[in-house]
Structure 1
Amino acid sequence: MTGPVLAVDQGTSGTKALVLCPDRGVIGSGTAPVRPRHLPGGRAETDPHELLASVVDAGRRALADAGEPVAAVGLANQGETVLAWDPATGTPLTDAIVWHDKRAEDICAELAPHADRLRETTGLPLDPYFAAPKMAWIRRHLTREGVVTTSDAWLVRRLTGAFVTDAATAGRTQLLDLDEVTWSPEALDVFGLAGERLPRVVDAAGPVGDTDAFGPRLPLTGLLVDQQAALLAQGATGPGDAKCTYGTGAFLLAQTGDRPRRGGSGLVSCVAWRLAGRTAYCLDGQVYTAASAVRWLTGLGVIGGAADLDRVGASEPDAGGVTFVPALAGLAAPWWRGDVRGSLTGLGLDTTAGHLVRALCEGIAAQVVELARAAGDDLGAPLGPLRVDGGLTRSALLMQTQADLLQAPVEVSALPDATALGAGALARLGLDPRLSLAEAVPRWRPSAVYEPRIGAGEAAERMEAFRGAVAALTARAR
C-alpha cells in the first residue's frame, strides 16, 4: 500500500491540489487562482508563469495543510491550452492560448477540405477548440522559435526537466493517430507543423521525473488531461459508463472500451487513458460555458455568484417562458458552431431574476441532454445514470433540472474535485504498478441522487423549446 500522494488539477480559472491518503481520503488541500484574459474576438490568454505559480502554490498549500510527507505527485491539465517555449531553458515565448480561444477560426476554414480525413485519423472535428489549430496560429503569427505544445508539456518540463505528454492529452491536439496512439505525420503536414519537435507520448501512470518544486524531492508518476481524470475518478471504467463535469464548461464523457467509436452524432472520439501500454477510449462532448455563464450572469448583477442560484431560482416555480441558450463562447458538440452566439428569448415585463436563473440552468442542462443522447446513439443504447462532479453540482436547482430534462438519475460525487482524485489515483498506480486500477481508484460513492420529478412529456416539451431556439440561432448565423 502506497502512502499519501499529492494530486494537482491545473484548471482554467485556478489550480486545486489535494493530499490523498488511501485510508483516510483527503487530508490536505490548497488552491491558487488563475486569471485568464478575455479579449475581443473570442480570444482568451493566460500568463504561463501564472499557470506554473498556481501549481506550485496550490501544491505547497496542500502539503502544509496535510502536515505529513507524500510519496509522489499526479498532475491533471487543461488539455487544449497551448504555448510556445524554449526547450533549452523552459522560458515561455508566448502567452498560453486558452482552450476556448477562437482565434484559429480562419485556419480551420482554410483547412476545411481536410476535415473529414482529419476526423477519421484523429477522431476530432476541425475546430479552433483543439490544440493543433492554435499551434498553427502561433507558428504563423507569433514565433517560429522553440517548441509549441499543450500546457502540460511545458509544466512537466519546468517541474521535472522531462519532455513528455500523456496519450489522452496528445489526443486533444488533433495531431495524434487515434488507432496507433502515435503522432500522425499526415495531420502534422496538414497543419503546417511537419518537422516540429513534439513531446514523447507516455502512459498516464509511471515515473516521469523528479521535482523539488513543492519542497521535498518527489517523483511525478501520474499525468492525465482533466476530463479523463474525472472520468477515472468517477469509476467510469466500463463501456457505456458516463460522467459529466460542471466547471468553466460542462464536459460529458462516456467510456467505449478498448476501441474508438467514430459515430455520426457529432461527439469526439478520443483516448480515455493509456495504462501499461493498453489504450482505453471514450466519447467526449463539450458545453463551452457553464460556470462561465454563471459568472456572466453575476457580472450583470442578476445574482451575487453561483451560491445564489438556488436561492434566486427558488423565487419562481419555472422559467416563465424564458429560453436561454448560453452559447456565450459558441456551440460545441454536437453542433460545432463556434460562430453562434447566445440568446435569451421569451422576455417580458414580468421576467424576474428567478426566471433568468432557471432559464440558465435549463440551458446548461439541455445541452448536456443533447450530449447524452448523442453518446447513446453512438453506443447503440441509452446511457444509464449520469455521474456528475464539479463546483456547479452544489446547486440543487441545476442538478434537479438536469435529472428532469435527462429523464434519468443524476448521481453527485461526494467530492466535487474528481479531477484531482483521478490524478491522485494515477500517481499511486505509477508509484506501485502492482496495484490494479480498482485498487488505485477510490471507491465511488454519491453524496446525493436526483431523480426526475417531471414526466417524459413535459421534459420533451422543454427540450423542444430549447432545440427550437438553437435552430433559430444556427439559421441566423449562416
Structure 2
Amino acid sequence: MATTPCLIALDQGTTSSRAIAFAPTGEILAQAQRELPQHYPRSGWVEHDAERIWADSLAVLQETVRAVRATGAVPAALGLTNQRETVVVWERASGRPIHRAIVWQDRRTAETTRALRTAGHEDLVAARTGLLLDPYFSASKIAWVLDQVPGARARARAGELAAGTIDSFLIWQLTGGLHATDITNASRTSLFDIHRRSWDEELCALFDVPVSLLPEVRPNAGDFGHTRPDQTGLDLAITGSAGDQQAAAIGQACLAPGTVKSTYGTGCFLLQNTGAAPQASAHKLLTTIAFQVGDRVDYALEGSIFAAGATIQWLRDGLRLIASAGESAALAAQLPDNQGVYLVPAFTGLGAPHWDAEARGLLVGLTRDTGPAHLARAALEAVAYQTRDLVDALAADCGARAQTIRIDGGMAGNDWFAQFLADVLGTTVDRPAVTETTALGAALLAGVGGGLFDSLDDAARAWVSERRFTPAMAAGERDRLLAGWDAALARALTPPA
C-alpha cells in the first residue's frame, strides 16, 4: 500500500507552542496549538515556564502526528523552529530547568550590557557576532541565571548543568540528552563567531558563560537526533532546525541575495538575504547567519521590532478594547485617518534601528473624541511605521531600496494592515498562500535534511503568492503621517546623557 510522506514542524513561539504537518508541496495537513502563558515578575522582565514549554510542545506534536496519520500520511521527518535568544539552564541528570526561561524581550540585564558598552567592548562583540550589546541577546541572560540561582555557578563548573536556547532544550528533551543547536540560533547568543562559525572563548569569558555549558552547533539541515519512543511516544528523525526568523525566510523562499521578508508575530523581524559574505551595518541592523545547508552558508541583515502582534495583544488583554485580534482591522477602518493619534509601543524598549532599552510606550494626540477605533488604528499603524524605519535603515546599508517585501505571521492576514504597510513603505507587499512560513521553513529544512528534497532551492518551490498589495496612498499623505510618527518617536526615545 502506497503511503504519502509528510513533514512535521514544531514551532515553539513566544505566545504559543504548535505543531503543523505539511505535504512536501507546502499544504497544511494537520495542526495543533497551545497558548503559552507569559510571566512578568517585574517591570521589563519576561519569563516562560520551560517545563510548560516542553509539556505543550510534546502534546501538540503527539496530537498532530495522530491527526495526520489518520489521513493516511506518514511523517517522514521533524523540523524545529523557536523563539530565538530566549534561554534555559537545566540539569543534565534530570532535564529540569533551574529557573524559568528568560525571554528575548526581557530587559533585566540592561545594566550589564550598558556596563560592557561603557567599557568599550561593543566593537569586539559586533565584529565577531554581528550583534550589538543589548539585553535582547542570550549571553547576559545565561550569566544572570548562573549568578542569581544559588549554587548554579559551582554546578556549572562541576558539569552538572547545560544551557541553551529553546531549540536546544527541546532537542535534549525529545532525544533524551543530545545537546545540540543549529547555527542560526547560535548566531543570536553574542557568544558565537559568525565568521569562524564556532563558539568564541573570549566572548564567553567576557560574558562569564562557561563554554562547557553550550551545545554542539550543527547546520540547519541534517542530523539532530531521533525522538525517543519510550519517552515521547514518537518515532521521528529530527533533520532540520532554525531560529524562527531564519525559518520564515526559508519558508518565504528568500534564498537569493536581495530578497526580503518581514514576519509579524509577537515582534516584527525584517530580514534581507545578503549572500555568501556577511555585511556590516552602519545603521544598527544586525548581521546574522541566514542558514547553513551543507557547505552553503548565507548571511543576512536583520532589523528587530519588539512589539508587533504584542501591541494588538495589549489592546485585547491589557485594555480589553477588542475580543480578538481580527477586530482591530474593522475598528481601524471606521476612521478616515488617524486624526493625529500615534502609539509608540515601546513596552520593553525599542529595537532596531534605535536600540533604546530604556524607552517606554507613549500615546500622543489624544482628545476628548479619542476612542477605541483610534487606539486600534494607532496600534496597527505603529507596526507599519516601525517597519518603515527598518526599511530605511536597510536601504541605507545596501544602497538600494527593496522593491518587494514578502510578509507573513499573524498580522499578515489583516488586509487593512497589509495595504497600509504597502502605502507607508511605498513598496509592493507580497503575501504567500501559506502564511505559516516559520513552520513551513522548519518543515522544508527537515525535508532537505531527511532527503525528501535534493536541495534548499528545490524545497523552496513550495512558495506561492496569494495576494499582492501595491501602494495607493498619495506621497503628500504618506509624508504627513510619517512626520507625525517621527515626532511621536522622538518623544519616546531616552534623551542623550
Q: TM-score range by the shorter chain?
A: over 0.9
Higher mean alpha-carbon deviation, 301-310 vs 360-369, is at 301-310
The answer to whether the Cα contact below 8 Å between 1:107 and 1:137 also exists between their aligned partners in 2 is: no
* 1:124 corresponds to 2:140: no
Q: Structure 1 residues 4, 378: closer, same or farther in 2, change over 3 A?
A: same
Measure how far apart 1:33 and its partner are: 1.9
Higher mean alpha-carbon deviation, 332-341 vs 301-310, is at 301-310
- Amino acid across the alignment from 2:224: V
Partner of residue 291 from structure 2, selected from 260, 273, 284: 273
* 1:227 corresponds to 2:229: no
* 1:471 corresponds to 2:487: no
The answer to whether the Cα contact below 8 Å between 2:312 and 2:380 also exists between their aligned partners in 1 is: no
Counterpart-to-counterpart distance in 2, 1:216 and 1:69: 12
Measure how far apart 1:471 and its partner are: 1.5
- Amino acid across the alignment from 2:409: G
Counterpart-to-counterpart distance in 1, 2:41 and 2:418: 31
The answer to whether the Cα contact below 8 Å between 1:339 and 1:477 also exists between their aligned partners in 2 is: no
Counterpart-to-counterpart distance in 1, 2:452 and 2:29: 23
The answer to whether the Cα contact below 8 Å between 2:453 and 2:459 also exists between their aligned partners in 1 is: no
Counterpart-to-counterpart distance in 2, 1:429 and 1:175: 28
Query: In percent, how many aligned pairs have the same letter?
Result: 35
Measure how far apart 1:406 and its partner are: 0.4
Measure how far apart 1:472 and its partner are: 2.0
**Residue in 1 aligned with 2:394?**
375
5 Å-filtered alignment, 1:132-171, equals 132-142=139-149, 143-144=152-153, 145=155, 146-160=161-175, 161-171=177-187
Question: 1:306-363: CA deviations, max 9, x gaps?
Answer: 1111211121111111111111111000000010001111110111221221111111
| TM-score, structure 1 normalization | 0.96
Question: 1:250-269: CA deviations, max 9, x gaps?
Answer: 11111010111112111010
- Amino acid across the alignment from 2:106: D
The CA RMSD over aligned residues, in Å, is 1.7
Higher mean alpha-carbon deviation, 73-82 vs 36-45, is at 36-45
Partner of residue 216 from structure 2, selected from 178, 184, 200: 200
- Amino acid across the alignment from 1:205: A
* 1:54 corresponds to 2:73: no
- Amino acid across the alignment from 1:200: E
Q: Could you say what secondary structure the match of 1:63 adopts? A: helix
Partner of residue 354 from structure 1, selected from 356, 359, 373: 373
Higher mean alpha-carbon deviation, 419-428 vs 143-152, is at 143-152
- Amino acid across the alignment from 2:263: T
5 Å-filtered alignment, 1:4-15, equals 4-15=6-17
* 1:315 corresponds to 2:334: yes
Question: 1:169-218: CA deviations, max 9, x gaps?
Answer: 00000111111111111211110124433111100001221103653411
Partner of residue 243 from structure 1, selected from 258, 261, 266: 261
Runs of 5+ consecutive residues of structure 2 not aligned to the other structure: 156-160
5 Å-filtered alignment, 1:294-309, equals 294-298=312-316, 299-309=318-328
Partner of residue 101 from structure 1, selected from 106, 114, 118: 106
Higher mean alpha-carbon deviation, 19-28 vs 286-295, is at 19-28
| TM-score, structure 2 normalization | 0.93
Q: Which runs of 4+ in 1 moved over 6 A?
A: none
Measure how far apart 1:107 and its partner are: 0.9
Measure how far apart 1:372 and its partner are: 1.2
The answer to whether the Cα contact below 8 Å between 2:358 and 2:494 also exists between their aligned partners in 1 is: no
Counterpart-to-counterpart distance in 2, 1:78 and 1:314: 32
Partner of residue 190 from structure 1, selected from 196, 199, 206: 206
**Residue in 1 aligned with 2:435?**
416
Counterpart-to-counterpart distance in 2, 1:225 and 1:136: 21
Measure how far apart 1:236 and its partner are: 0.6
- Amino acid across the alignment from 2:165: T
**Residue in 2 aligned with 1:65?**
67
Aligned length: 478
Partner of residue 180 from structure 1, selected from 187, 196, 203: 196
Counterpart-to-counterpart distance in 2, 1:476 and 1:263: 23
**Residue in 1 aligned with 2:158?**
none
Partner of residue 363 from structure 2, selected from 314, 321, 344: 344
